């Protein structure tokens, strides 16, 4: 009972944070709303029984990724976003699109899993179980993902590094 109440409360906080993320006009406020979304997602994982995933969610997303977001926003000193009225195309196509997408996801979820959903506290939460899954059952996908991340890092380094100036006198 307490689990269910907490689950609903933090689900509401998560959605409210996501809406606030879109509504806020200042980048820092938006980034902090995203931190709230990440943190409440971690609580949802915890309530589902995936305690290791919850802790990793907080450490990686709320603690590292979002700190870097905030860092970049602070460094660039991004100003307040300009408000526009929004385009009519987005209004006409957007709302039906979102509704259709939501319905599709709901339909797939119901079709694939039936009415049965994961019970509260039913996910395998122990670090040992997760380790076995990651490094034994799903070793190949895990390694492929790590190579993918490595490629992304190398791409970022290439994009971020300035090309060597060919003619130093002209550059300055």
What is the helix (H) or strand (E) element at residue 9, kind and residue range?
A: helix 2-23
Nearer to other proteins, 10 or 52 (CB): 52
Of the candidate residues 5, 75, 116, 140, the single one contacting other proteins (CB under 8 A): 75
Q: Does residue 67 bind other proteins (CB under 8 A)? A: yes
Q: In Å, how far are 20, 62, 66 from 57, measured between CA atoms?
A: 21, 7, 11
Judge whether 14 and 37 are in contact, CB under 8 Å: yes
Q: How far is the CB of 130 from other proteins (least distance, A)?
A: 11
Count other Cβ atoms within 10 Å, centred on residue 106: 10
What is the helix (H) or strand (E) element at residue 30, kind and residue range?
A: helix 27-48
Q: Using CB under 8 A as the criterion, what x/- string covers residues 123-142 for binding other proteins? A: ---xx---------------
Stretch that binds other proteins, among 11-19, 28-36, 84-92, 150-158 (CB under 8 A): 28-36
Of the candidate residues 34, 36, 43, 58, the single one contacting other proteins (CB under 8 A): 58
Judge whether 62 and 42 are in contact, CB under 8 Å: yes
Nearer to other proteins, 117 or 129 (CB): 129
Q: How many CA atoms lie within 13 A of 90 on its CB side?
A: 4
Structure token pair of residue 7:
């689950």
Nearer to other proteins, 97 or 127 (CB): 127
Task: Give the residues lining the site for other proteins (CB under 8 A).
Answer: 28, 32, 35, 39, 51-52, 55-56, 58-59, 62-64, 67-68, 70-71, 74-75, 126-127
């Amino acid at each position: 009972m307490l689990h269910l109440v907490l689950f609903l409360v933090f689900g509401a906080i998560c959605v409210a944070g996501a809406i606030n993320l879109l509504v806020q006009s200042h980048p820092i406020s938006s980034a902090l709303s995203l931190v709230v979304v990440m943190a409440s997602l971690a609580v949802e994982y915890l309530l589902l029984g995936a305690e290791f995933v919850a802790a990793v969610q907080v450490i990686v997303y709320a603690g590292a990724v979002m700190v870097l977001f905030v860092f970049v926003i602070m460094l660039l000193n991004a100003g307040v976003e300009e408000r526009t009225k929004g385009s009519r195309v987005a209004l006409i196509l957007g709302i039906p699109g979102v509704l259709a997408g939501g319905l599709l996801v709901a339909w797939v979820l119901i079709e694939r899993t039936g009415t049965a959903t994961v019970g509260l506290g039913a996910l395998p939460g122990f670090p040992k179980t997760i380790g076995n899954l990651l490094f034994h059952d799903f070793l190949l996908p895990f390694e492929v993902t790590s190579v993918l991340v490595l490629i992304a890092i190398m791409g970022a380094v290439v994009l971020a590094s300035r090309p060597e100036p060919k003619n130093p006198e002209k550059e300055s």
